[in-house]
Amino acid sequence: MSLIKRKPQRRVAVIGAGLSLFMRRALDTGKELAYYAASQALQTAGIRLKDIQAVVMATAPDAFDGVHMKGEWLLDGAGGVGKPYLRAYVGGGSGVFSIISGWMMVASGLFDLVLVVAEEKMSSCQPHPQGAFLTIFDHTIERPLGPNLLWIFSLEQQRYMAAYGIRNEDIALVSVKNKHNALAHPAAQVAAHLTVKDILDSDVVAWPVHRLMVSPISDGAAAVVLASEQVARRLSDRPIWIQGVGWCLDTSYWGNRDLAYPRYVEKAAWMAYEMAGVTEPRKQIHVAEPYDPFAYKELHHLEGLQLADRGQAPEDLARGRFDRTGELPSCPSGGLMGVGNPIAAAGLMKICELFWQLRREAGARQVPGNPERGVAQAWGDLMQIGTVAVLGVR
C-alpha cells in the first residue's frame, strides 16, 4: 500500500539558509538568536522580510527556555509580526518537522514564500534542562522510580548492541567522526579531534553511554527560506528542491517498541522516498544528515533510513563508508555531537547543511563528487517520531 495518497502538485525549494552560533550559554535572548538566523536566511535568499508571506517557528518544550507559549514570545525574532504564523512542535523532531510544515504551506498553494525558523535556549533551565525533561516519563508508573533522561537512551543503545552484537568501540566512533567533522563548521560548539580511546575514557554516565557519547546543552537558532517553484526560479539560480517529506509516530508506550530498530523512522523515510521517487536509497542518496543526539542514534537512524542493513551500520562506519569522503557521507556538518544540540535548531541545521552541500558551497565541509540528493532526519517526542526530508538539486 502506498504511504502517500497522491504526489503534491506544487514543488517547493529552499532558497536561503542561516544560523546563529551554537553556544553552551548565550548572552543573546532566544528572540535575538532567532533574528540572527532568520535575517541571514533572508539575506542569502536575497529577499526582505516584507516579501515573506508566512512564518513557521519550531522550538521544543516551553520549559527549556522557561517561557510559556514561547512560540508567541519568539514571534518578532522569527519575523512573524503581522503574518500567518505557526509553531511546529514534535519534540526533538521539530527541526525537520518545521520544514515539513513550511513545505505544506507552499505545496498546498497557500503561500509562495515562507520563512522557517528554529530556536532553542536551554541554558536558562537550571540546575539542568533534565528537570523539564523528566516529565516525559509517566507520572504514576515511571517517575516514582526516580528516572533520569539518560536511562531511555542507554536502554535503547544496550538493546541495539545486544540485538546485533555491537561493541561500544564501534559506537564511540560516531563521536570521533562527528566531533572531527565539526572542526570545519563555523557554528560548532563541541568540535574536537578525539580518539575512540578518549571517548571510552570519558566518564560512564549511564552504561553503555559515556559522557562524550552525549550531545551538549546548547543555545542557538537556524532558519531557511522556502519558495514555490515559480518564485524560486525567479529568485535563485540554484534552488534546492524538497523532493519528499515524511513523518511517523510510534506508540507512546516506549517499553512496547522494538528498541533495537526504529521502525517509525523507516516508515517516515519510505513516505519521503516515495514522494521523491527514490526506490534504492543507498544508490540515490548521496549525503545524509541523520539525527545524532547520542552517538548510537546516528547508526540507529542510518538503518531506519534504509542506508545500512540492520545492525550493520557500525561495521559500515568502521570501514569509512560514512566519512565525509566516504561512499555515503553522514553528518558532514558535524551533527549534534559536534556542532551542538539546541533541539529544534539542531534539526534545521541539518537541512541548512544539505542546502550548502547540494549547492556545493560547503567549503571545507564539502563532500566530494557531485551530490545530487540528500536526506535529513530528526527524532524525538518520547523517542517515537521520525521526521524526514529529502532534498535534491532538481
Partner 1 sequence: MARTRAKPATARAPAPPYVPLRGHPLNEEEFRGQVGSTTWVPRLEYAWDAGVAISRFLDGLREGKIYGVRCRRCGRTVTPPRAFCELDFKPMDEWIELRDTGTINTFSICYVTWDMKPLRVPQIPAVIEIDGTSPRVGFLHLVGGVRGRTVTEIRRQVRVGLPVRAVWKPPAKREGAITDILHFEPVRKRANR
Partner 2 sequence: MTRKSITNVSQARVWRGTMPVQYLYTAGVAGERFFQTLRRKGVFAVTTCAECQVTYLPPRLYCERCFADLSGAWAEVAPSGRVHTYTVVHEDQDGRPLDPPQVVAFVRIDGTSGGLIGRLLHLRPQDVQVEMPVDAVLAPPRRRRGGMDDITGFAPRRVLPRRRTP
**In the chain, what's the furthest Cα-to-Cα distance?**
58
Residue 23 binds partner 1 (CB under 8 A) = yes
Query: In Å, how far are 159, 205, 303 from 38, measured between CA atoms?
Result: 40, 36, 33
Out of 3, 4, 10, 66, point to the residue binding partner 2 (CB under 8 A).
66
Site for partner 1 in 189-248 (CB under 8 A): 203-209, 219-220
| Choices 119-127, 232-240, 271-279, 302-310 (CB under 8 A): range interacting with partner 1 | 119-127
Out of 127, 165, 255, 368, point to the residue binding partner 2 (CB under 8 A).
127
Amino acid at 93: G
Residue 134 binds partner 2 (CB under 8 A) = yes
Site for partner 1 in 61-90 (CB under 8 A): 66
Binding-site partner at residue 247 among partner 1, partner 2, none, CB < 5 to 8 Å by type: none
Instruction: Return d(Cα 347, Cα 88) in angstroms, integer.
Output: 12
Asked if residue 208 has a cis previous peptide bond (ω within 30° of 0), the answer is yes
- Count the neighbouring beta carbons within 10 Å of the beta carbon of residue 283: 9
Cell reading at 277: 521517487
Residue 34 binds partner 1 (CB under 8 A) = no
Given a contact cutoff of 8 angstroms between Cβ atoms, the answer to whether 57 and 117 are in contact is yes
Given a contact cutoff of 8 angstroms between Cβ atoms, the answer to whether 378 and 94 are in contact is yes
Given a contact cutoff of 8 angstroms between Cβ atoms, the answer to whether 246 and 93 are in contact is no
Q: Give a three-class secondary structure readout of 70-87.
A: HHHHCCCCCCCCCCCEEE
Residues in the chain: 394
Amino acid at 189: Q
Binding-site partner at residue 142 among partner 1, partner 2, none, CB < 5 to 8 Å by type: partner 1
Instruction: Return d(Cα 189, Cα 54) in angstroms, integer.
Output: 31
Given a contact cutoff of 8 angstroms between Cβ atoms, the answer to whether 269 and 243 are in contact is no
Out of 2, 140, 256, 279, point to the residue binding partner 2 (CB under 8 A).
140
Minimum CB distance to partner 1, residue 283 (Å): 27
Coil/strand/helix, residue 187: coil
- Count the neighbouring beta carbons within 10 Å of the beta carbon of residue 185: 24
110 vs 134 by CB, closer to partner 2: 134
Given a contact cutoff of 8 angstroms between Cβ atoms, the answer to whether 244 and 390 are in contact is yes
123 vs 157 by CB, closer to partner 2: 123
Out of 29, 44, 94, 101, point to the residue binding partner 2 (CB under 8 A).
29
Site of grid cell 580511546: 197
Residue 45 binds partner 1 (CB under 8 A) = no
* Residues contacting partner 1: total by CB under 8 A: 75
Residue 46 binds partner 1 (CB under 8 A) = no
Out of 77, 342, 380, 386, point to the residue binding partner 2 (CB under 8 A).
77
Minimum CB distance to partner 2, residue 381 (Å): 18
Site for partner 2 in 142-171 (CB under 8 A): 143-144, 146
Residue 32 binds partner 2 (CB under 8 A) = yes
Residue 124 binds partner 2 (CB under 8 A) = yes
| Choices 92-100, 251-259, 298-306, 375-383 (CB under 8 A): range interacting with partner 1 | 251-259
Contact positions toward partner 2, by CB under 8 A?
Answer: 25-29, 31-32, 35, 38-39, 42, 48-50, 63, 66, 76-77, 79, 81-82, 123-127, 131-132, 134-135, 139-140, 143-144, 146
